[in-house]
Amino acid sequence: MLIMESLIYYQTEAQVKLNEIINKASSIVILCDANTKRHCLPHLIAMNPKLKGTYVITVPEGEKSKEWRFAMRIWEKLLKNNADRHTLLINLGGGVVCDLGAFAASVFKRGIAYVNIPTSLMAQVDAAIGGKTAININGIKNQIGTFQLPKAVCVFTEFLSTLTEQHVYAGFAEMLKHALIADKNYWDELKNLQHSGQIISASDLIKKSADIKSTIVSKDFYENNERMKLNFGHTIGHVLESMCMQHNNLILHGEAVAWGMLAEAYISREKKMLSQQALDEIETIIRFYFKPLSFIQNIDDAMRLLYADKKRVGDELHITLIRKIGTAVINQHCSEKEVKSAMQYINEC
C-alpha cells in the first residue's frame, strides 16, 4: 500500500522537505506558467534562496499548454540545460503545470524526480496529488499519461491569495466532489461556505480534501477499482471541457467537473440510486457557485467525445455514480439515453 499522506507537506514542513530534496539533486529546473512565474516564483525563491538563478521553463497559462508540443519543449530545454537522471523538476503552478510537468518528468530519461508545488486550490486539493500525469491530444482530455509519484507535494497556502474568485470556485468543485463521494459530514461543512475568501482561509477543509484523495489513492494507485470513485463528475465533465476546447470557448476544469457532477447525480437519480431531495440539494449548490452552461448545441457531438473517454469499456459507458451524498459507486453501466437526458438536464439549468 502506498502511503500518500507522507508525500504531502504543508507550510514549514514543506519548506524543510523541499530543501532536503533540492540538496540531493544534481541540478534543478523549475516549470511555471506565465502567471506563476510573475506572482509565485519570487516568493518561492525568497523562501528558498538556493533556487536563485535556477533554470526556469515557462509555458503559457491555461489548458492550451497541456499538449504534446509543450511537453516536447520541456524535454528540449532539459536537454539544452544538460539535465541528467538526477535532475529535479519543480512544477510551480496549478493543475495544468503539475500535470504537464509530471508527465514530462515521468518519461524524460525514463523518469526523473519531480516535486509539485501547487499554487491553485484545484491543485492543492486534487490535481497535484496522486501521481497521475497526463496531456491532452486532438482536443480530448488526458489521453496520454503515466503513473509516477512525485518526491513530494509541497503546499503553501499563501499562494491561494493570488487566485481570482473564478479559480477559487473551480478548485472548490473538487472539494465538493470529495465530499459527495466520501463524506456527508464534510459536504455539510462545505455548504456553509458563502464566498471565495471563506474557502481559501479554511485550511483545515483544504487539508481534509487532500486527505480524502490521498487515502483513496493509497488503496488503488493504478486505478483498478477504488480510485475510480475520484472520477465522479469527470466522465461528463471532460466531455464538456473537450467541447469547449474544440470550439475555442474554454472553461476551467473545475467548472466542467461541477456540471459533470450534477449530470452524473441526475443519472444516479434516474437509476433510483439517489433521492430527489439529494439531487435538488446538489443542484442548489452547483447553481450557487457556478455560472450555467448554454453551449451544448449538439448532444450527438458530445456522445462522440464520451466514447473517447478512458473509462469506456468496449462499447459500454461505465460511469461513477453516487448512491447518496457521501457514497460513490463505481463502474455503473449507463445507456446513451440516460447520458443524453442528463446533458439536456444540465443544459436547461
Closest CA to 122 of 99, 151, 88: 99
Going residue by residue through the chain, which has 349 residues, state the pLDDT in tens, using 9 for 90 and above. 455 556 999 999 999 999 999 999 999 999 999 999 999 999 999 999 999 999 999 999 999 999 999 999 999 999 999 999 999 999 999 999 999 999 999 999 999 999 999 999 999 999 999 999 999 998 888 999 999 999 999 999 999 999 999 999 999 999 999 999 999 999 999 999 989 999 999 999 999 999 999 999 999 999 999 999 999 999 999 888 888 777 677 789 999 999 999 999 999 999 999 999 999 999 999 999 999 876 566 677 777 777 666 556 566 789 999 999 999 999 999 998 999 899 889 988 7
In CATH, the architecture of 4-162 is 3-Layer(aba) Sandwich (3.40)
* Fold annotation for 165-347: Dehydroquinate synthase-like, alpha domain (1.20.1090)
Q: Locate cell 478548485: which residue?
A: 171
Q: Give kind and range of the element (H or E) at residue 137.
A: strand 132-137
pLDDT digits (tens, 9 = 90+) for 241-269: 888 777 677 789 999 999 999 999 999 99
Closest CA to 107 of 139, 53, 148, 49: 148
pLDDT digits (tens, 9 = 90+) for 9-59: 999 999 999 999 999 999 999 999 999 999 999 999 999 999 999 999 999
pTM across the whole model:
0.93
206: which 3 cell numbers? 483544504
Radius of gyration over alpha carbons of the chain, in Å?
Answer: 19
Quick one: what percent of the chain has pLDDT higher than 90? Answer: 82
Cβ(308)–Cβ(295) under 8 Å? no
Domain ranges of the chain: 4-162, 165-347
The full DSSP string for 268-281 is HHHTTSS-HHHHHH
